[in-house]
Structure 1
Amino acid sequence: MTRVAPPPSPILDVAVAGAGPTGFVTALALRRALGPSLRIGVFDPGLARSGPADARASMIAADGRRLLQDIGGWPETAFPVSGLRITDSRLEDALRPTFLELDDAGRDEPFAHMVFDAELRARLRAAADDGEIPLRAEAIDGFHAGPGRLTLVLSSGENVSARLLVAADGARSLVRASARIATHAFAYDQTALVATLSHDGPHGGVAVQHFLPGGPFAMLPLDEGRSSLVWSERRETAATMAAADDAAFLAEVERRAGPDYGAIRLAGARGAFPLRFLLARSFVGTRVALVGDAGHVVHPLAGQGFNLALRDVAALARVVAEAARRGDDIGSDASLAPYERARRFEAASLGAATDGLYRLFSSSATRTLRDVGMGLVDRAPGLKARIVGAATGR
């Protein structure tokens, strides 16, 4: 049985707000970097609740896989991805020529792995229990700074002190708001429809992404005969599809997937998630560091959202460990400054790139230009290798 216990001390080295995958990875990575003497607590009112099974799966790059393995959070059910194929077409087109193909040829590890989000959450929570990381089923309602620490006000009314507060509490982060860190944010006119599918045709371990006028339609390989669907569609059409019965939904999936998959069936729950963009103006505040969706939310067309979060965590753990080894205050502005420099530029760059791709592929007027561009990339081995490296964290 999962243990939910109070922190071991009223004065924590690190408090983590949020017990989703990013929050658990943060706590586990910091514990691994700083050792068992680290006084840490994870706070999230959701720890007291059990929600419905998550229909989503994540494609995790090689560097993220290594981090999850190092902290004991890698699910044994991960599925290797051997490559990525990108097409650009209209829905009615009979043929969908491949304009860009990336694979793991010449490498000693897969391109990436697919992991069910629900299984990743369960494995991370088990690792937190094994590591005796204290969990509190309470929200951090606010905080104020004092000499050398923050005083956190919990939803129970209790006060807890911490030298560093990590916001892993998502895109609507209460910690970010309390720290008065501004954001640049807007909603896309798209919703992501997600599901686990079974199909008669083989996927060969290759992730396929069709850029269609309504948005990118991705079939991401799981075990043989199953794929994870991430279908980004205009909001109005997506609402119709989300409300449709299974037969009508699958008929539209088959139209977009093409004949290679054969007959397609549902193999799990369906879900729908509105898409948005968010970038925090700063990734640090007074004794506060933002990780994951608290700092950035990008369009899922590149599948890099959670990989970006894992790179945040790796960078923060490294920065905090270095400060601790020097004997410095781990929550000071000087200690956190390298984290800001290391992570905000990449997040801003990736956010701009995915937003640019979304707008490029949403415009039928630029189709010929973008197809020529993808064709040139596909024929340039050096450039392709750099793109694979950036996508996989190698």
Structure 2
Amino acid sequence: MAKAAEIDTTYDVAIAGGGYVGLCLALALKKADSAMGVVVIDPKPMEILNKDPRASAIAAAASRMLDQLGVWNRIKDKAQPINEMIVTDSKLRDLVRPVFLTFGGEVTEGEPFAHMVPNGAMLPALYEASRALGVAFAAPDSATTFKTTVDEVTIELASGKVLRARLLVAADGVRSKLRDLAGIRTNHWDYGQSGIVTTVKHERPHNGRAEEHFLPAGPFAILPLTGNRSSLVWTESTADAKRLVESDEFTFELELERRFGHHLGKLELDGPRNAYPLGLTLAREFVKPRFALAGDAAHGIHPIAGQGLNMGFKDVAALAEVLVEARRLGQDVGAFDVLERYQRWRRFDAFQMGVVTDVLNRLFSNDNDFLRAARDFGLGLVDRMPGIKSSFIKEASGFAGPAPKLLSGEPI
């Protein structure tokens, strides 16, 4: 294991948040510019990252970035390619769920449009690669407050330490404390839904097929993992989700089977079950002088399109490119005009994706027969139009819009 860099007091970039966004940004910056001083601040010990039981959908563009950063080879053996995706729309009591839309194929030969990757593999790989390049870590510790001046930002930590940096990046999640301290307001809608996340084993192989079942309470997604296992993202009303998570295993598996079906044989829980509240949170600004938001701190969206993590990776690629190129031009990485380039690149795209997921959730999470007939007609129409399907696959792969270099697999 690489030795951690000693904690200094002055850095070019301080990153609050040691999740996939914070770690990936630290790695991208350090790999492109080894002289850049980077520190990651996080309240949890980094050594427990391998205990995260969840899995994430990684778009093809994101896997290209991870390959460019030197970590894809460390995790690809644990990654499950998604070879096909089907979409159904039905009521819970329906005996048959017609498939209205099918996505399949590869972005390029041998490159699926997405993979499912265990967080317990991806996060430690990002951490170890960052440490090896000299990224410093203040963990476990947390940023309690900060003050900005013309030349720097001063960050006070819970431990009593004080760090100084040219730029502070808040990658501390959808309930970002630092975003609030920076005075950045958000637009927020609570959906009254929660997403139940767990892993199941099943008798039969999934053959790399993902399934999205639109049910009246919300989408029920079955996402393939290695072996005869799948990750579930199961949307219910918040009250029902709480009841299900707290129920005994027999009741939970019975309700699970009603939604999952019998096409993959007998089911068995293979991990903890947790419920997370769902909503839409969009920051009105992504940057302030010497301060920037990234990942869920900038945009928290519904998981209906599976794009939350990939939007965070887009933030990483765009912000890293802006900062590294600014340094090469002799510019101050914390200057507002530099950070504005990042905001122009990412804010509209985040707003657009937030609106799309919001509309999809409102359209599909209901039991209105008229809306059901209209959306099923629309899904069937899309399924018969290769051009539109191709654009959807391009979006799901992470290649829509002007792509930062890292998402194209190019170095900064």
Q: So what's the TM-score if we normalise by structure 1?
A: 0.95
Match of 1:69 in 2: 67
> Are 1:303 and 2:306 matched, yes or no?
yes
SS in 2 for 1:260: coil
Task: Report the Cα distance in structure 2 between the residues aligned to 1:261 and 1:175, rounded to whole angstroms.
Answer: 45
SS in 2 for 1:232: strand
Q: For structure 1, which segment, 252-261 or 284-293, has the greater mean C-alpha deviation from structure 2 after superposition? A: 252-261
The 5 Å alignment of 1:327-346 reads: 327-346=330-349
Match of 1:293 in 2: 296
Q: Deviations over 1:28-49 (max 9, x none)?
A: 011122x211111111121378
The 5 Å alignment of 1:1-394 reads: 6-8=6-8, 10-33=9-32, 35-47=33-45, 50=48, 53-74=51-72, 75-76=75-76, 77-105=78-106, 107-108=108-109, 109-137=111-139, 138-365=141-368, 366-394=371-399
Taking a change above 3 Å as real, the CA distance of residues 375 and 48 of structure 1, as seen in their structure-2 partners, is closer
Q: Deviations over 1:245-278 (max 9, x none)?
A: 2222112111111221111111222222121211
SS in 2 for 1:262: coil
Task: Report the Cα distance in structure 2 between the residues aligned to 1:58 and 1:106, rounded to whole angstroms.
Answer: 19
SS in 1 for 2:187: strand
Deviation (angstroms), 1:186: 2.6
Taking a change above 3 Å as real, the CA distance of residues 48 and 100 of structure 1, as seen in their structure-2 partners, is closer
SS in 2 for 1:375: helix
Match of 2:406 in 1: none
Task: Report the Cα distance in structure 2 between the residues aligned to 1:290 and 1:393, rounded to whole angstroms.
Answer: 20
Task: Report the Cα distance in structure 2 between the residues aligned to 1:95 and 1:122, rounded to whole angstroms.
Answer: 42
Counterpart amino acid of residue 131 in structure 1: L
SS in 1 for 2:184: coil
Task: Report the Cα distance in structure 2 between the residues aligned to 1:211 and 1:287, rounded to whole angstroms.
Answer: 43
Deviation (angstroms), 1:16: 0.6
**Structure 2 stretches of 5 or more lacking a match?**
400-412
Task: Report the Cα distance in structure 2 between the residues aligned to 1:83 and 1:185, rounded to whole angstroms.
Answer: 33
Counterpart amino acid of residue 130 in structure 1: A
Deviation (angstroms), 1:209: 0.6
Taking a change above 3 Å as real, the CA distance of residues 302 and 286 of structure 1, as seen in their structure-2 partners, is same
Taking a change above 3 Å as real, the CA distance of residues 51 and 307 of structure 1, as seen in their structure-2 partners, is closer
Deviation (angstroms), 1:357: 0.5
Task: Report the Cα distance in structure 2 between the residues aligned to 1:217 and 1:48, rounded to whole angstroms.
Answer: 32
SS in 2 for 1:339: helix
Counterpart amino acid of residue 375 in structure 1: G
Task: Report the Cα distance in structure 2 between the residues aligned to 1:36 and 1:49, rounded to whole angstroms.
Answer: 24
Q: Percent identity?
A: 44
Asked if the contact 1:84/1:208 (under 8 Å) is kept, the reply is yes
Asked if the contact 2:14/2:167 (under 8 Å) is kept, the reply is yes
